[in-house]
C-alpha cells in the first residue's frame, strides 16, 4: 500500500525542526530513519499531514563521551552506534543489544533515538536504556527537559514525550569493567524477540530489564531485590522465579502468556549467571 498524502519538510537546524513541530503538533510527525514510521504510513496505521524529516539536522548526529557519560545524539544511525569504538569500550552492552535489532539494512537507516521514541515493547534499546539508568534529553520551543529512562516508557508505543518535543540525546553511564549480559529469544535471527533480558552489574547490585514479554519494556524490581544482598546460584534461582511472577506477559500469535513468563524466568537465570561469572557477554 501507499501512504496517504502528506506535506514534507526537511529542516537543516534543530530550531527550525522544533518550530515546524510546534506548528504541526496535532497533525505532524517527525521522520528519523523511517524504519517504523514509513511501514506504519504505508499500512495507513499513521496518516500525518506533515512530515518533518530530521535527517539533515546536524545537532542530532554524533557520539561523545563526557565525564563518565556516553552521549548518543538521537538521530545517530543504529549501525554507527553499534560500530562506535567509544560506545564499544564505554557501554559494551549497547552494541551487543544492537546486533539483535532487525537486520543490517534496518540498522543502517534506523536511528538510536527513533527506536526509543517509537517505544516498541520488543525494542532492545529500550531495555538497555532502562538497565543502564539512561537519561533522555528532550527539547521543544518551550525549552529542554531530562527524563529518566524509567519514566519514559508508559505503554505500548507510548512515552512521556509531548507532541511538540524532539528527543535530542541519550545519556548513558559508562560501565566499562562491570559485568553485563544481554540475551533474547526470537524465532529467527532478526525477528522481534519473544522475550529478552538485559542485566548490568552495579556497585553491589544488578539492574535487570526485560523487553518483548509485556506491553512495555520494564525493570524487574523483585528479581533485582532477590540478588541485592548476594549474587549466588541460590539467589539467582529466587530471582528467576520472582521475574516470572512479577511480569504481566502479553499473549499473541507468536507466544502465549505462559511461554513468555517461562522465557523471562529462564533469561533472568542465564543473564545473572553470566554476570556472576564476571563475563562481558551477549548471546550472539
Ligand atoms: C523488518 C524490520 C525489523 C525490525 N526489527 C527490529 C528489532 O528486532 N528490534 C527493534 O528494536 N526494532 C526493530 N525494527 C525497528 C527499527 O529499529 C526502527 O529503526 C526503529 O524502531 C525506529 O527508528 P527510526 O529511526 O527508523 O524511526 P522512524 O521510523 O523514523 O520513527 C519512529 C517514530 O519515532 C518518532 N521519532 C523518531 N525520532 C524521534 C526523535 N528524535 N524525537 C521524537 N520522536 C521521534 C517518529 O515521529 C515516529 O513516530 C525493525 C524494523 C523493520 C522494518
Per-residue pLDDT tens digits for 20-46:
999 999 999 999 999 999 999 999 999
pLDDT in tens, 152-210: 999 999 999 999 999 999 999 999 889 999 999 999 988 999 999 999 998 889 999 99
Residue nearest to atom 1 of ligand 1 (CA): 102
Instruction: Determine the atom of ligand 1 nearest the C-alpha atom of 102.
Output: 5
Mean pLDDT of 138-152: 98
* Pairwise CA distance, residues 198 & 115, whole Å: 16
- Cell numbers of 163, please? 507532541
Q: 138: Cβ below 6 Å to ligand 1?
A: no
Residues 6+ apart with CB under 8 A from 231: 206, 272, 275, 276
Instruction: Determine the atom of ligand 1 nearest the C-alpha atom of 74.
Output: 41
Q: 24: Cβ below 6 Å to ligand 1?
A: no
| CA-to-CA dists, residue 169 to 2, 142, 158, 225, angstroms | 32, 17, 18, 30
Q: How far is the CA of 116 from the centre of ligand 1 (A)?
A: 8
Q: Which residue has the cell 525542526?
A: 17
What 3-state DSSP class applies to 97? helix
Please count the residues of the chain.
Answer: 284
Taking alpha carbons only, the member of 202, 214, 217, 264 closest to residue 239 is 264
Q: 110: Cβ below 6 Å to ligand 1?
A: yes
Q: 120: Cβ below 6 Å to ligand 1?
A: yes
Residue 104 has pLDDT above 80, yes or no: yes
Q: Contact, 208 vs 268, CB < 8 A?
A: yes
Instruction: Determine the atom of ligand 1 nearest the C-alpha atom of 30.
Output: 47
* Percent share of the chain, pLDDT over 70: 98
Residue nearest to atom 2 of ligand 1 (CA): 102
* Pairwise CA distance, residues 240 & 271, whole Å: 10
Q: Which region, left, alpha or beta, applies to residue 193 given φ > 0 means left and ψ of -120 to 50 means alpha?
A: beta
Taking alpha carbons only, the member of 207, 213, 206, 208 closest to residue 185 is 213
Residue 279 has pLDDT above 70, yes or no: no
pLDDT given at position 177: 87
| pLDDT band, very low/low/confident/very high, at 280 (cuts 50, 70, 90) | low
pLDDT in tens, 220-229: 999 999 999 9
Residue nearest to atom 51 of ligand 1 (CA): 35
Between these two residues, 127 and 204, which has the higher pLDDT value? 127
Average pLDDT, rounded, for the chain: 95
Q: What share of the chain is helix, strand, coil (3-state, %, to 5)?
A: 35, 25, 40
What 3-state DSSP class applies to 8? strand
Angle between helix axes 233-246 and 257-276 (nearest 10 degrees) is 150
Q: How far is the CA of 254 from the centre of ligand 1 (A)?
A: 21
Q: How far is the CA of 128 from the centre of ligand 1 (A)?
A: 15
| pLDDT band, very low/low/confident/very high, at 284 (cuts 50, 70, 90) | very low
Mean pLDDT of 101-125: 98
Q: 18: Cβ below 6 Å to ligand 1?
A: no
Q: Contact, 169 vs 73, CB < 8 A?
A: yes
pLDDT given at position 283: 43
Mean pLDDT of 55-61: 97
Q: 76: Cβ below 6 Å to ligand 1?
A: no
DSSP state of 24: T
184 exposed, middle or buried (CB, 10 Å; 0-12, 13-18, 19+)? buried
| Distance from chain centroid for Cα 256 | 23
- Cell numbers of 112, please? 538510536
Residue 135 has pLDDT above 70, yes or no: yes
pTM of the model: 0.96
Amino acid at each position: 500500500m501507499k501512504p496517504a498524502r502528506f506535506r514534507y519538510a526537511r529542516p537543516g537546524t534543530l530550531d527550525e525542526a522544533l518550530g515546524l513541530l510546534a506548528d504541526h503538533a496535532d497533525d505532524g510527525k517527525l521522520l528519523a530513519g523511517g524504519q517504523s514510521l514509513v511501514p506504519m504510513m504505508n499500512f495507513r496505521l499513521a496518516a500525518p499531514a506533515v512530515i518533518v524529516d530530521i535527517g539533515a539536522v546536524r545537532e542530532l548526529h554524533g557520539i561523545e563521551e563526557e565525564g563518565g557519560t556516553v552521549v548518543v545524539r538521537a538521530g545517530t544511525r543504529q549501525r554507527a552506534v553499534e560500530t562506535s569504538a567509544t560506545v564499544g569500550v564505554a557501554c559494551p552492552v549497547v552494541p551487543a543489544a544492537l546486533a539483535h535489532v532487525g537486520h543490517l539494512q534496518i540498522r543502517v537507516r534506523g536511528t538510536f533515538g527513533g527506536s526509543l521514541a517509537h517505544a516498541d515493547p520488543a525494542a532492545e534499546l529500550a531495555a538497555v536504556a532502562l538497565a543502564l539508568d539512561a537519561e533522555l534529553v528532550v527539547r521543544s520551543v518551550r525549552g529542554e527537559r531530562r527524563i529518566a529512562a524509567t519514566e519514559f516508557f508508559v505503554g505500548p508505543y507510548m512515552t512521556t514525550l509531548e507532541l511538540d518535543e524532539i528527543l535530542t540525546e541519550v545519556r548513558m553511564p559508562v560501565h566499562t569493567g562491570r559485568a553485563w549480559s544481554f540475551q533474547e529469544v526470537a524465532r529467527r535471527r532478526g525477528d522481534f524477540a519473544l522475550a529478552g533480558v538485559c542485566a548490568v552489574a552495579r556497585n553491589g547490585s544488578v539492574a535487570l530489564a526485560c523487553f518483548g514479554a509485556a506491553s512495555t519494556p520494564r525493570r524487574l524490581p523483585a528479581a533485582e531485590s532477590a540478588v541485592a544482598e548476594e549474587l549466588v546460584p541460590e539467589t539467582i534461582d529466587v530471582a528467576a522465579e520472582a521475574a516470572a511472577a512479577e511480569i504481566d506477559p502479553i499473549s499473541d500469535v507468536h507466544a502465549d502468556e505462559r511461554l513468555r513468563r517461562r522465557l523471562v524466568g529462564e533469561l533472568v537465570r542465564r543473564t545473572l549467571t553470566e554476570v556472576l561469572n564476571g563475563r562481558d557477554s551477549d548471546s550472539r
